[in-house]
Structure 1
Amino acid sequence: MNEKWMCAVSVATVWTDPDSPRVADLPALDHPVQINRWLSQLSYEERLALSEKNYIQTQLLYGESVIVEEVVGDWARIIANSQPTRKDPRGYPGWVPLVQLSMKKRIQTEEFVRVTSPKAALFDESGTFFLRVSFNTIFPSAERRGKKIRVWTPHGWKLLNVSDVERVGEESIHRPLTVGRRFIGLPYLWGGMSAWGFDCSGFTRAIWKACGICLPRDAVDQAEEGRSISLDSADWQKGDLIFFKNEEQRIHHVAMYVGNGKILHAPSTGKLIEQIELKKSAYAENVCSVRRII
């Protein structure tokens, strides 16, 4: 097929294969997706299995473009072409419920807006609430209507509050820490790419995306971006990405340096996004690489 489609729900989870979802994951397969219900009912063990058993690959935000390679029953095998990865030169591969995708095409425009609020309400043109969307969701945009702006979505023209967005291209590359700290206390979610939950590399990617810089999806690929910095913390600057190795000496975690010996990161299942002192943490002895994006 190799057709371009779009994500048609607030956030769609990209599964490893159609057999990955369990009964507990059914709310994540709906349209509209029941993301709050899904996450609130998952036990720690069920959340942990998302990574331990490799059930999830990544997530898509509303309106995000994908390449649909084939449709098998109620599922689509896709490539998330806006998420760079070594797994496929075209983008991140996986499977998404067909009902969560739309064939509607993007309009031709040079104007785009990005959601800057953690979550934002999307309205019908009549002003009726339609859908809640995540931080970093991007829309083709048109004219302002008072305190709202008209945007193009997989469901046609809708409205967003002007206070919830900024124009793409007007982002400041000097504010990653300001952006990231807004999510302190948010529960970790393996594969997470939205304000409903991030994993470690999803979090750093989201922060830099909000600053106008596109990083690869996974930590191992992010560790090849920017330029290498000494492992001596005296050389580190705010915003540097710090990478950590596991027992197999492979990169398995990423955090952002915030200065004064502290890091900001999404730690692991069962924990919350946090800012901690690196030297006093279990991560200190596993630093293996530091990269400066700017």
Structure 2
Amino acid sequence: MKYGICTLALVPLRSEQAHRSEMVSQVLFGELFEILDAQPDWTAIRMLETDYLGWIQNGQFMAVDAADIAQYFAGKPDIVGREGGLLFNGESRLHLCHGTKLYLNEANRVTLGELALTYQGSVNAFSRADFETEVAQLAMSYKDTPYLWGGRSQWGIDCSGFSQLIYSCFGINLPRDAYQQAEIGDNVDFVSEIRTGDLAYFDNAEGRITHVGIMLDRDTIIHASAKVRIDRMDNEGIFNRELNKYSHKLRIVKRYN
């Protein structure tokens, strides 16, 4: 198998090998993937952490071998903190978004083959033990972030990218899409039993799960819909006060820790 790793801060992952095609997700710096099909301008890939498939433009990643991978992952794993950070050397400046995972050596550097970059910036301080006390505040720091289909950062995010990102800061890895996230975790059978940080899922008219949000308490949810917003939720679903109607129909609530 052949592998690649993203060498830019944040790049599109597209459904087809064209700029005009749908952006299904994004690839962050340092994320590793399997190369499935290399074409002159685009490469089909499979993300190793999530099995997500798509096309990345050539020039936005570097091919790596087993030695490169071992060298990189020998570093200490850290996550870029909420304030972001910078990777730099004499030629490059990469402004990294919150949630980017880095493997830093003792000199606080990322080494990928001949590429060596020093990290300067914030580091995520949360662990799984902090989830119940800190998840709401971290999620609310994203309020008013614009919705972006396929987005995974504070510059634009979709509903499942939001839940995936927030959970990753507490060492909980979720799949990419809402319906995939709903397939794991433990059911919360009653709205009255909801805890801070539980994920609520919503389906469309065909019964397909298409939306997810993070519960701030048993009747308040934060979710990405046009923007990251806070709404009321009950047994029926999310009630949007601005529209004076229910915007999403509740399907299930899940707990992951």
Q: Would you tell me which structure has more helix in proportion to its own residues?
A: 1
AA of the residue aligned to 2:230: Q
Matches within 5 A, 1:140-159: 140-144=103-107, 149-152=108-111, 156-159=115-118
Q: CA RMSD in A?
A: 2.3
Provide the identity percentage.
26
Deviation of residue 179 (structure 1)? Answer: 1.9
Unaligned runs of 5+ in 2: none
Give 1:260 shift. 5.2
Kindly provide the CA deviation profile for residues 185-244 of structure 1, in whole angstroms up to 9, marking residues without a partner as x: 1101001112221110011001101110101111101112210011x3211111110001
Report if the CA contact (8 A) 1:139-1:153 is conserved: no
TM-score, length basis structure 1 = 0.76
Pair 1:76-2:39 in alignment: no
The letter of the residue matching 2:23 is I
Partner of 2:198: 240
Question: Offset of 1:110 from its aligned partner?
Answer: 5.0
What does the per-residue CA deviation read over 1:149-208, in whole Å, with 9 as the maximum and x for residues that have no partner?
3233577222222x5114797873333222211111110100111222111001100110
Give structure 1 regions of 4+ aligned residues with deviation exceeding 6 angstroms.
167-171
1:1-294 matches, cutoff 5 A: 2-19=1-18, 21-22=19-20, 55-83=22-50, 91-104=51-64, 105-106=68-69, 107=71, 108-124=73-89, 130-144=93-107, 149-152=108-111, 156-161=115-120, 163-166=121-124, 172-174=130-132, 175-230=134-189, 232-259=190-217, 261-267=219-225, 271-279=226-234, 280-281=239-240, 282-283=245-246, 286-294=249-257
CA separation of 1:77 and 1:66: change in aligned 2, threshold 3 A: same
Structure 1 distance, partners of 2:196, 2:114, is: 40
Question: Which has the larger share of strand?
Answer: 2
Q: Structure 2-normalised TM-score?
A: 0.86
Matches of 2:151 and 2:62, distance apart in 1: 21
Output the amino acid matched with 1:176.
V
Check conservation: 2:200, 2:212, Cα contact below 8 A.
yes
- Residue in 2 aligned with 1:40? none
2-structure distance, mates of 1:285, 1:111:
41
Q: Which has the higher contact order (CA 8 A, sep 6+)?
A: 1
Preserved contact between residue 113 and residue 167 of structure 1 (Cα < 8 Å) = no
Give the superposition deviation at 1:58. 1.1
